[in-house]
Structure 1
Amino acid sequence: MMKNGIVVVDDDPIIRMDICEMLEEEGYTLAGEAKNGEEAVELVARVKPDLVIMDVKMPVMNGIKAARIIRSMQDTSVLLLTAYSQRELVRDARDAGVAAYLVKPVSEEDLIPAVEIALSQKRRIDSLKQDLERLKQSAEDRKAIEKAKGLLMKAYALEEEEAYRRMREASMSARMPMGRLAELILSDGPEAMSGHGA
């Protein structure tokens, strides 16, 4: 379920310990602890956790500023802890891309569902990103295939269908994806086909 675990950030070591214990009891992996926002940013850049649970009020750099930096670096979910629930805090937290916030003292009944929600948001974002990557790749492949087909048509005076058929056959006999074959044709010229079964 989780790849890189959870980072817990609070300037109070007892609160950190409590939260870490609650998480471990529920079987979550801990990726590290930090005592202020600056340490949190450095730690997150290094361990790339799935989730950061972070206090708002901390010395050196507060949780909202740290959350904003973390969210701009990577898709780590952030769960903020606060001793008070103020309107502008909620707005700032939302603007910083925070998944949720909890009011301290945090109980296990509040923490675990919030962690689950934040992690499921992270999984959804990850899977959307993968889908986008695949779409981008297939669009790039289509462009390359079109260009390579054009090169073959020109080089061997072929009709479009014949050029495409030859590419498909070469792709199948070389057990090479069409996109990869197209890249070869574009980089090495139409002769690249002859080495791949066409």
Structure 2
Amino acid sequence: MNREGAAPPAEATGLRVLLAEDDIPVAKGYQDILQKAGYEVVGLAHDGLQAVEMCENLRPDLLLMDIKMPRMDGLEAARAINMDPKSAFTPIVLVTAYADQQLVTRAKRCGVLGYLVKPVQLDDLIPALEMAHTAAQKISALEGAVRNLSEELEARKVVERAKGILMKRLKIDEEEALRMMQKESRRQRIKLKDLARAIISSHSIMNS
């Protein structure tokens, strides 16, 4: 690894990094640089399979992994990590001897968020990790927003169904049914969607 370049930032990042590299001197070089930059190196995997296992157990904030390793290569390890719910959101930066378009495409399909070409330059290593971590945060936030939207739409469907039941049962209009549900949810101190589910459940029992 080429150590030439600007010194790493002095401020601690607090991020926990797992290294996956079968060349011990190279791994130690990464470790020294990362620790000086404020990262916490939580473990060193010597092959791809061990990287998968350690990623699941240690839950690192980042994984820096060589593509060519014993037992399981970096791409297969990345795929396995992203298929496991316990480690699926781990940002992975892959280190490779070359980077053609085919490799980049395969890496993306395996969930890799960044890559470095050997010999790794010091002033490329930290930015690559930072960008991968930022990208992972954005993806997580986007997935969270989509999940929240899906839950909101589902809640609206449940409330609409419950309103329909009350309108039919009590011979009231939609506005009155909604006011009644809102008042009851406040009285019981439960969410409107939970009250709606209770109304639907009660209706189903009565009509079974």
Using the size of structure 2 for normalisation, the TM-score is 0.80
Q: How many residues align?
A: 189
Query: How far apart are the structure 2 equivalents of 1:152 and 1:107?
Result: 68
Aligned-pair distance for 1:47?
2.8
Aligned-pair distance for 1:189?
4.6
Please, which moves more after superposition, 55-64 or 167-176?
A: 167-176
State how 1:91-102 maps to structure 2 within 5 Å.
91-102=105-116
Cα 1:147–1:104 shift into 2, 3 Å: same
Query: How far apart are the structure 1 equivalents of 2:97 and 2:112?
Result: 16
Query: How far apart are the structure 2 equivalents of 1:91 and 1:138?
Result: 35
Cα 1:147–1:15 shift into 2, 3 Å: same
Give the match for residue 41 of structure 1.
52
Whether the 8 Å CA contact 2:17–2:64 is kept in 1: the answer is: yes
State how 1:7-46 maps to structure 2 within 5 Å.
7-46=18-57
Whether the 8 Å CA contact 2:14–2:39 is kept in 1: the answer is: no
1:124 to 122, 131, 138: 138
Cα 1:132–1:88 shift into 2, 3 Å: closer
Aligned with 1:123: secondary structure? helix
Runs of 5+ in structure 2 lacking a partner? 1-12
Runs of 5+ in structure 1 lacking a partner? 191-198
Structure number with higher relative contact order (C-alpha < 8 Å, ≥ 6 residues apart): 2
Aligned with 1:163: secondary structure? helix
Tell me the alpha carbon deviations over residues 95-129 of structure 1, each in whole angstroms, 9 at most, x when there is no partner.
43321211223233110000010000000011011
Aligned with 1:80: secondary structure? strand
Query: How far apart are the structure 2 equivalents of 1:135 and 1:31?
Result: 36
Query: How far apart are the structure 2 equivalents of 1:14 and 1:166?
Result: 70
Query: How far apart are the structure 2 equivalents of 1:7 and 1:151?
Result: 55
Give the match for residue 194 of structure 1.
none
Query: How far apart are the structure 2 equivalents of 1:46 and 1:154?
Result: 54
Aligned-pair distance for 1:14?
2.1
2:174 to 119, 135, 160: 160
Please, which moves more after superposition, 133-142 or 43-52?
A: 43-52
Amino acid at match of 2:168: K
Give the match for residue 69 of structure 2.
58
Whether the 8 Å CA contact 1:4–1:48 is kept in 2: the answer is: no
Tell me the alpha carbon deviations over residues 128-156 of structure 1, each in whole angstroms, 9 at most, x when there is no partner.
11111211111111011011112222322
Give the match for residue 71 of structure 1.
82
Tell me the alpha carbon deviations over residues 12-50 of structure 1, each in whole angstroms, 9 at most, x when there is no partner.
122222212222222223342211111111122223333
Aligned-pair distance for 1:164?
0.8
**Structure with the bigger percentage of helix:** 1
Indicate the RMSD between aligned Cα atoms, in angstroms: 2.3
Q: Identity over aligned residues, as a percent?
A: 39
Give the match for residue 188 of structure 2.
174
Aligned with 2:130: secondary structure? helix
Whether the 8 Å CA contact 1:55–1:63 is kept in 2: the answer is: yes
Amino acid at match of 1:100: G
Aligned-pair distance for 1:186?
2.2
Query: How far apart are the structure 2 equivalents of 1:171 and 1:50?
Result: 40
